[in-house]
Structure 1
């Protein structure tokens, strides 16, 4: 776990820096500087681009990680990397052509309730292709065990440029409309920078050659498109469906709430960048016992870190919402429901990486498609009834069922199980501390109140986790820090 902890720690730090910048943007700059309408429009465009990204990338980012370790020499590596870069480009052309041909019909349908979106739909495929190639070049770097730089560009760089642009809107250097153009340009630049970094790590030798295992790669890629589509739809379909039923401003209110909850999944995202290639290697080498141990370690470590983040958010949520415009206050319950869905998914550890690297992955994709259809159906029922809260209910139900399906699949097919008695201890500890701190407020300034409560939660959470030895790996890290700094 040394390499995992090292790069996961760096990725977690980078990601939280990015989320801190994003938090400033989401909670303050977007609502106050950009306004709810253009904030919602920006969110809608980015969510739609994220949904089509797996299709434009054709699953190559995951295929690259899975099959790169199987290349036997430099020639096969060059062929495979060339295929990974050129294959999506060739296949994206007809898809983008179809979009342009039916642009009128698509734009009329998507702008029925909110006409403002009609003139901005062309941003969606442009940003989508930039996102797709960013992920491909990021995967190029990850297979060479360099995951931090790409994570920095994705989590910090994009949000930092947004912050600068939002300040420009505030001082009237740019208009809200120009902000959307700058956002598109920012994603293009992120793609270019990551490409140059990937090529720096491994100089490309492009060849018009087909890999020797192209059939196996193609079949896997097809199913990964479905899988990636399922995961992205579960993450972003709610924002698109809100646009079809209620006023676009509600997407802004919903986005603030879901962004706050999304912070809970940061440890999982950070660890995934390095656990994925390690999981692929263990499965390729058929090291079942090591994989089972790795599965349990990722699960409990993510539960502890993610549970801490969730706890800090939940106990401070009422105070936090007092600091933003009143019209956003309807998102408090959305934070709770969406946050729980993130926690449920997070405690499965590297479950997704295991599924992507097993020969049985096709079966679970069927379950994913069913869950997406269920999500759409639940949103169609609950959004008209409860607005943004209805969408959060739909997502919680869908993600919980999908996570349960993945858990059962891995246990039945591979005889791997992520939970131990430590899982129950961690859940009980998080629940008790929530009940202790949620109803306890400091009668001071909001930021000071959040800081004070968070400090107390941190002390109690870290101390009890350490004394109960819920995670030996995390305790080892603390012992190392104590030995290094307190016992000199």
Structure 2
């Protein structure tokens, strides 16, 4: 857990700096400078690009960190593993680019009635999606080298600075909305270029056909795993992208604009979880290689305890000031509050049980995850068709939350049945009970100091005192205490260097 906490804290800090930039971009500049429809258009392009990236990677992304512990050999340039995965990804990009071009008319028809402006930017999905594929592949390769931080700097910090600059130039009327969209699309290449440069600096950019020396038998294992993991991870991306795509097709870009802002707020809250998952995946792969189920079980429980605390704490801190937060946005965004509530419930469950997916897809039973994947896709699609026309973006949020609950429960049961490990600890129940007491108490108190900013500050102080501080002082959950101690240690170290 030491490696995980160390890198997770670093990436969390960097990601939160990036989040502040992202808040300036999406919650302030986007909302101020663009209409809801324009916000929805940009997010639709990015959502479809993410889906294109998932289809075209052909499983190369997950196989990178799954098999890296077995192929790690600097002297032999890791048997050309990077080259093999880049070839697989390139084949996928070419294949699905052709599909996307050939089926343009059929796909465009879906958006023409409610989101007609998207058709003008249809082909931008291909380059943006290609940039996303290469970035994720290189990021996972660096994970295998335990170089987790630079990819976060490139994607969560530098890219957002560039986006801020682009938006500021747009605010100064240096160019119109069309050029803004083009520049935002092209900027997605920046993290890819930076990662390639970083790998060259590390002397890890081994790209040539001659470098591929993986035994043919092992190549077959990698290709089979890539095929299955491709289907598995497709579900996660579909859950993220399908609601946005169906909102655009069924009710329009303006509603998607509101939904996109709510999604951004939630993704910002999930940064610590994402950081922990980012550095946990290669550890899980290593434990499978070592066949060390004792450490796997310990890691499962410890990570789940920390991510449960993080999810509950961040939800608590946000929900008690939710009215004040949304009052900072234009009036048209206020109906995003119930969307936030429903989506966040699903995300907390996902944060708590999230490691079960990593454990399953890196195990020998990874093929079974296709059943869960197929079920998830069907549930999301059917519920969206039923709920979105009836309840709008709240219906999309409800369908996504139900899907997250079912998906994680199925995976949880499967991992327990086959490997007899689970994330549950008695101390976690104590944390949940404390959370419920604090939440009900603060809602009942309904603090209002007459000033929005003072009310938000006071609510935040109360949340910190009543939730994490109580857990820390009473040592209710040792894993949380250790996590907080790590944060305090990093802060003290940084302050000490400045002095």
TM range (shorter): over 0.9
Partner residue in 1 for 2:473:
467
Partner Cα distance (2:490, 2:17) in 1:
27
1:68-122 Cα deviation digits (max 9, x unpaired): 1112643371321211122211332132123223323322333232211111111
Question: Cα offset for 1:28?
Answer: 1.8
Question: Cα offset for 1:295?
Answer: 0.4
Question: Cα offset for 1:362?
Answer: 1.2
Q: Quickly say closer, same or farther: Cα 1:294–1:447, change in 2 above 3 A.
A: same
Q: Quickly say closer, same or farther: Cα 1:265–1:454, change in 2 above 3 A.
A: same
Within 5 Å, which residues of 2 pair with 1:308-347? 308-347=313-352
SS at 2:280's partner residue? helix
Partner residue in 2 for 1:458:
464
2:427 to 411, 422, 429: 422
Q: Quickly say closer, same or farther: Cα 1:237–1:478, change in 2 above 3 A.
A: closer
Partner residue in 1 for 2:214:
211
Q: Quickly say closer, same or farther: Cα 1:410–1:363, change in 2 above 3 A.
A: same
Q: Which runs of 5+ in 1 are unaligned?
A: none
Partner Cα distance (2:378, 2:147) in 1:
36
Partner residue in 2 for 1:246:
251
Question: Cα offset for 1:456?
Answer: 2.1
- Contact 1:314 1:438 (8 Å CA) reproduced: no
Within 5 Å, which residues of 2 pair with 1:375-454? 375-439=380-444, 440-454=446-460
Partner Cα distance (1:435, 1:154) in 2:
38
Partner Cα distance (1:197, 1:356) in 2:
28
1:128-183 Cα deviation digits (max 9, x unpaired): 11000001111121111010110122222222222222222222122222111111
Partner residue in 2 for 1:15:
15
Question: Cα offset for 1:198?
Answer: 2.4
Within 5 Å, which residues of 2 pair with 1:17-166? 17-71=17-71, 73=73, 74-75=75-76, 77-166=78-167
Partner Cα distance (1:374, 1:478) in 2:
38
Partner Cα distance (1:326, 1:408) in 2:
43
- Contact 2:56 2:95 (8 Å CA) reproduced: no
Question: Cα offset for 1:485?
Answer: 6.4
Question: Cα offset for 1:267?
Answer: 1.9
Partner Cα distance (2:193, 2:77) in 1:
25
- Contact 1:323 1:446 (8 Å CA) reproduced: no
Question: Cα offset for 1:211?
Answer: 2.4
Partner residue in 1 for 2:6:
6
SS at 2:156's partner residue? helix
SS at 1:121's partner residue? helix
Question: Cα offset for 1:482?
Answer: 8.3
Partner Cα distance (2:20, 2:425) in 1:
33
Equivalenced residues, count = 487
Partner Cα distance (1:483, 1:60) in 2:
35
Pairing 1:305–2:310 present? yes
Q: Quickly say closer, same or farther: Cα 1:120–1:458, change in 2 above 3 A.
A: same
Question: Cα offset for 1:448?
Answer: 3.4
SS at 1:243's partner residue? helix
Q: Which shows bigger deviation, 393-402 or 71-80?
A: 71-80
Partner Cα distance (2:28, 2:100) in 1:
35
Pairing 1:226–2:228 present? no
Q: Quickly say closer, same or farther: Cα 1:302–1:118, change in 2 above 3 A.
A: same
Question: Cα offset for 1:189?
Answer: 1.6
Q: Which shows bigger deviation, 444-453 or 243-252?
A: 444-453
- Contact 1:262 1:342 (8 Å CA) reproduced: no
- Contact 1:44 1:239 (8 Å CA) reproduced: yes
Partner Cα distance (2:484, 2:190) in 1:
39
Partner Cα distance (1:46, 1:391) in 2:
18
Q: Which runs of 5+ in 2 are unaligned?
A: none
Partner Cα distance (1:474, 1:399) in 2:
24
- Contact 2:71 2:79 (8 Å CA) reproduced: no
Question: Cα offset for 1:484?
Answer: 10
TM-score scaled to structure 2, two decimals?
A: 0.93
- Contact 2:356 2:415 (8 Å CA) reproduced: yes
Question: Cα offset for 1:14?
Answer: 1.4
Question: Cα offset for 1:126?
Answer: 1.1
Partner Cα distance (2:18, 2:284) in 1:
26
